[in-house]
Chain A
Amino acid sequence: MKDFLCVLPAVIFFALFVYYPILKLFQISFTNWNLISDTYKYVGLKNFKWLFQGSGFASLINSLTITFRYTFWEIVITIAGGLLLAALFNRESKVFSALRSIVFMPRYIAISASAIVFMWILNDQYGILNYVLGVIGLKPIMFNTEENALTAVLILTCWRVIGYGMMIYLSAMKGISPEYYEAAKLDGANSFQRFRFITLPLLSPTTLFLFVTTFIASMKVFQSIDVMTSGGPYGATEVIVYWIYELAFVDFRVDRAAAVTLVFFVILMGFTAATMKFTERNIYYES
């Protein structure tokens, strides 16, 4: 029984800070609670009506569209970029090991500090990127516009995550037995064919892992948006977590924030359930 006491603090913690807040979200979403006032009434489905049939619907569609667009590109960058870099950096030498570390490092740097320097690099007037574009005869890019603001955030994301994708693929590639390659060489496969028909299929569990983890991580994007664009201009980068944050702490509409959070939570859970089903059926794990 003393063994049970060992896990008790952790279990109590998760009950208080994970499971209870989820129940609390349901409760808050059925009220008209405003953060400024101490009292509230139960109003039934009013917040969900606002969200799905009222003026909240356009904002919901807008923020989901932007969040999915951001997520799509972060996944593409992590998987395609990571795989390309893994092929490029896959060489055993001191120099390459040092280069790999450098490419991997941005993941551990505070996003806020990184965002600040990227905003300066991408500055429309004094940024070095636009200067270089000017030198080679291209038009400057204004990143503070509705069309380009999300691209600016994605440039920072690319810098942060591409080395992560590379490292994950490289450590998976190390696990592939060299015998496969030797056998393929004997059969006359060139290096592209070996990559296409041996490396790629054997990396499919890794690709799934990256897909799932990147999806969940990028759906939660907040910090780079907060620092670089504050959701703007005109809501062009208002991702779902940023919208929830604004509802709760700028508009003080905690009730609406709770309703939107529940939608967000259902999406995350649905995705997790779907990938679990898919994994059971389709992914081939070596041994």
Chain B
Amino acid sequence: MLTFFQYLFAIVFTLIIVFPFYWMIITSLKTSEELLRPVPTLWPLKFQWNNYVDVFKMAPLGQYILNTIIMTIGVMTLQIIIGSFAAYGFSKGKFPGRDILFIVVLGALMVPIQVTFVPIYVMIAKLKWINTFAGLIVPNAVSAYTIFMLRQTFKSVDDAFIEAAQLEGLGRIDIIFRILIPLCKPTMLTVTIITFIDSWNAYFWPKIATTTPLRRTIALGVYELKRSYAGLETMNQNQIMAGAVITIVPIIILFILLQKYILTGFSKVASK
């Protein structure tokens, strides 16, 4: 009996969580006339797939998606490469002042972009980097969180591997890319996926660093899309929802395929 209620409540709660996703998709397929009915319909009377075509005419969503992909690849690559080198230095390297410098890096974890964005904007503007990929990517090129996570796993690798590699005459780059990274694959994957998702969904910094649609990213673009229907938002909810669906579908697919890695990373953070 208890089991029955546990299943019942869990399923009902899950349906409540699913509902906004369902409503987003259903609304994106309705006609404008159907949106404005006093009694909302739970299933479109007539599927208007054209909403997904029309929304691209209202805003350069294709450009937004391309911008997001380029920014995401740039941020991911830089964070992983610079982060791996730093994590190697802080876990296996030996030099004076190592622990103090590591505290300097950890300190950065406590200073969010919401504190530093005004001065960083000023710097970026001086470099004429507003509305450029450099402006979107460079301020996110290194993540203290990535360095911290990678350092923890690199530390767990036995020094014997590294000493053996050094005897074979391998340099640091080979040690990092041919020994440490392959040995720490699960953490590398977790960090990469989290970076990907964060970058895809980035909103705050792109909002500061872009002023025109030219380099706008998709999470930001979907809100600007809504604004482009100024005054007529209600009857165009179907197209706005189509834009929202386009924004979230890549992440949903990624989540379903790779949630195993998201969850492992996650329990590591929780048990810290």
Using a CB–CB distance below 8 Å, which chain A residues touch chain B? 1-7, 9-11, 13-14, 16-22, 24-25, 28, 85, 88-89, 91, 95-96, 99, 101-103, 105-106, 108-118, 120-121, 123, 125-126, 128, 131, 159, 163, 167-168, 171-172, 175, 206, 209, 216, 220, 222-223, 226-227, 241, 244, 248-249, 254, 257-258, 261, 264-265, 268-269, 272
State which of B141, B197, B204, B244 has its C-beta within 8 Å of the C-beta of A108: B197
Q: A120-B23, A171-B267, A254-B122 are in contact. Are A99 and B82 (CB under 8 A)?
A: no
For A244, what are the chain B residues with a Cβ–Cβ distance below 8 Å? 114, 118
Type the 1/0 row for B122-153, where 1 means its CB is closer than 8 Å to any CB of A.
Answer: 11000000000000000101101001000000
User: Contacts A102-B14, A113-B243, A222-B204 given; 19 further ones with Cβ under 8 A?
Assistant: A7-B85, A7-B86, A7-B98, A10-B83, A11-B86, A11-B101, A13-B82, A13-B142, A21-B116, A22-B111, A88-B10, A105-B255, A112-B219, A112-B222, A116-B223, A131-B39, A159-B17, A175-B271, A216-B112
For B256, what are the chain A residues with a Cβ–Cβ distance below 8 Å? 101
B85 near A113 with CB under 8 A, answer no
B118 near A28 with CB under 8 A, answer yes
Q: A6-B88, A206-B270, A254-B118 are in contact. Are A99 and B203 (CB under 8 A)?
A: no
For B11, what are the chain A residues with a Cβ–Cβ distance below 8 Å? 99
Q: Which of B108, B172, B252 has the most CB of A within 10 A?
A: B108
B240 is an interface residue with CB less than 8 A from chain A? yes
Give chain B's interface residue range (CB within 8 Å of chain A): 35 or more
**Interface residues in B199-229 (C-beta closer than 8 Å to A):** 200-201, 203-204, 207-208, 218-220, 222-223, 226
For B167, what are the chain A residues with a Cβ–Cβ distance below 8 Å? none
For B6, what are the chain A residues with a Cβ–Cβ distance below 8 Å? 88, 91
Q: A88-B13, A258-B118 are in contact. Are A114 and B20 (CB under 8 A)?
A: yes
Using a CB–CB distance below 8 Å, which chain B residues touch chain A? 6-7, 9-11, 13-14, 17-21, 23-24, 27, 35-36, 38-40, 82-83, 85-86, 88-90, 92-95, 98, 101, 104-105, 107-108, 110-112, 114-116, 118-123, 139, 141-142, 144, 147, 172, 197, 200-201, 203-204, 207-208, 218-220, 222-223, 226, 234, 237, 240-241, 243-245, 247-248, 251-252, 255-256, 259, 262-263, 266-267, 270-272
For A25, what are the chain B residues with a Cβ–Cβ distance below 8 Å? 115-116, 118-119
Distance between A216 CB and nearest chain B CB, rounded to angstroms: 8
Q: A110-B247, A120-B23, A248-B118 are in contact. Are A4 and B93 (CB under 8 A)?
A: yes
A108 near B110 with CB under 8 A, answer no
Q: A20-B119, A96-B10 are in contact. Are A108 and B82 (CB under 8 A)?
A: no
Q: A10-B86, A117-B23 are in contact. Are A220 and B114 (CB under 8 A)?
A: yes
State which of A24, A102, A226 has its C-beta within 8 Å of the C-beta of B207: A226
The 5 A-B pairs at the shortest CB distance, nearest first, are namely A3-B93, A6-B89, A7-B89, A21-B119, A10-B86
For A118, what are the chain B residues with a Cβ–Cβ distance below 8 Å? 20
For A227, what are the chain B residues with a Cβ–Cβ distance below 8 Å? 223, 226
A106 near B83 with CB under 8 A, answer no
For B83, what are the chain A residues with a Cβ–Cβ distance below 8 Å? 10
For A222, what are the chain B residues with a Cβ–Cβ distance below 8 Å? 114, 203-204
Q: Which single residue of chain B is at the shortest CB-CB distance from A89? A: B10
The contact sample of 10 A-B pairs, CB cut-off 8 A, is A6-B93, A14-B107, A28-B118, A91-B6, A99-B10, A105-B17, A110-B200, A159-B17, A227-B226, A268-B115
Q: Which single residue of chain B is at the shortest CB-CB distance from A96? A: B10
Q: Which single residue of chain B is at the shortest CB-CB distance from A99? A: B14
A110 near B248 with CB under 8 A, answer yes
Q: Which single residue of chain B is at the shortest CB-CB distance from A111? A: B203
Distance between B159 CB and nearest chain A CB, rounded to angstroms: 14
A249 vs B251: C-alpha distance when bound (angstroms): 30
Distance between A227 CB and nearest chain B CB, rounded to angstroms: 5
For A268, what are the chain B residues with a Cβ–Cβ distance below 8 Å? 110, 112, 115
B141 near A121 with CB under 8 A, answer no
A14 near B118 with CB under 8 A, answer no
A236 vs B92: C-alpha distance when bound (angstroms): 52
Q: Which of B23, B98, B270 has the most CB of A within 10 A?
A: B270
Distance between B126 CB and nearest chain A CB, rounded to angstroms: 11
B40 near A261 with CB under 8 A, answer no
A103 near B14 with CB under 8 A, answer yes
A1 near B200 with CB under 8 A, answer no
A103 near B13 with CB under 8 A, answer yes
Distance between B272 CB and nearest chain A CB, rounded to angstroms: 8
B17 near A103 with CB under 8 A, answer yes
Distance between A200 CB and nearest chain B CB, rounded to angstroms: 17
Distance between B153 CB and nearest chain A CB, rounded to angstroms: 16
For A4, what are the chain B residues with a Cβ–Cβ distance below 8 Å? 89, 93, 95
